[in-house]
Amino acid sequence: DADVTQTPRNRITKTGKRIMLECSQTKGHDRMYWYRQDPGLGLRLIYYSFDVKDINKGEISDGYSVSRQAQAKFSLSLESAIPNQTALYFCATSDLRYSGQGSTGELFFGEGSRLTVL
Amino acid sequence: RKEVEQDPGPFNVPEGATVAFNCTYSNSASQSFFWYRQDCRKEPKLLMSVYSSGNEDGRFTAQLNRASQYISLLIRDSKLSDSATYLCVVKGFQKLVFGTGTRLLVSP
């Protein structure tokens, strides 16, 4: 079983609908992230959470919200989906330390959720 | 200017060839550097970290040039299984910035 699990893996929806993407992890990491990937734009950070009580906006948080229900669960919501939110969404975890020195920099990604908004 | 820039490719090489990718970054305060590999429609996975003195992992060699603000990845004796997109990743203050990736296609 995957250490970082995303559901759903694929979703087609219509403009204006509310969508939730869920992520759960068994790695025991405190830090969780949501990214989206678009062709030619690479991976961009939407939101991140360093622990259950900590939520931070990334570079493209507008139109999205998140909830950290537990250490192992981090969900991403699109309150009113629009076509330009069509993308591949990745959840990731890490155990990076604040110092940054000597950290492996390793993010562990889920398999992705492909969202299409019509 | 993008924080991290890569040539998107694709780089088409025959098996056994040596191929190198470069990546430039704009933030001189960047602390750490990495190469990730992403197969088609799959999640990215860490390939290797990049250390100041350069480092090797089998057929893969990574180099960092802080003065010119670029990192490189050299792949020797390319295998068909090396076909993938290689993402350059730069860490600033508590944030990882991903390049858009360089696509490598290794042909028989």
Distance CA A107, CA B35 (A): 12
CB A110 to CB B42 under 8 A? no
Q: Which pLDDT does position A97 carry in this prediction?
A: 54
Is the pLDDT confidence value at A39 over 90? no
Q: When comparing pLDDT for B94 and A85, which is higher?
A: A85
| pLDDT above 80 for A1 | no
Asked if B102 and B6 count as a contact pair (C-beta separation under 8 A), the reply is yes
Q: What is the pLDDT of residue A72?
A: 96
Tell me: pLDDT of B63 over 50. Answer: yes
Q: Who among B41, B91, B98 is closest to A42 (CB)?
A: B98
Contact present, A6 and B65 (Cβ < 8 Å): no
Tokens describing residue A105: 């920099």
Concatenated DSSP letters for chain A?
--SEEEE-SEEEE-TT--EEEEEEESS--SEEEEEEEETTTEEEEEEEEEETTEEEE-TT-TT-EEEEEETTEEEEEESS--GGG-EEEEEEEE---TT-TT-----EE---EEEEE-
What's the token pair of residue A86?
């069509």
**Using only C-alpha atoms, what is the Rg of chain A?**
14
Determine the Cα–Cα distance for residues A32 and A72; give it in Å rounded to an integer. 9
Q: Which residues in chain A have Cβ-Cβ distances shorter than 8 Å to B96?
A: 45, 105, 107
Instruction: Tell me whether residues B89 and A100 touch, CB distance under 8 A.
Output: no
**Contact status of B98 with chain A (Cβ, < 8 Å):** yes
Tell me if chain A has a CB within 8 Å of the CB of B42.
yes
Total residue length of chain B:
108
Question: Contact A96/B101, CB-based, under 8 Å?
Answer: no
Least Cα separation, residue A22 to chain B (angstroms): 16
Residue A100 pLDDT:
44
Contact across the interface for B43 and A101, Cβ inside 8 Å: no
Summarize the confidence of residues B46-63 as an average pLDDT.
93
Confidence class for position A99, pLDDT limits 50, 70, 90? very low
Minimal Cα distance from A5: which residue of B? B43
CB nearest A105 (choices: B8, B32, B99)? B32
**Tokens 């989206």 identify what position?**
A36
Q: Is the pLDDT of residue B56 over 60?
A: yes
Give B2's pLDDT tier (boundaries 50, 70, 90). Answer: confident
Among A90, A105, A111, the residue with its CB nearest the CB of B91 is: A105
The percent of residues in chain B predicted with pLDDT above 70, rounded, is 99
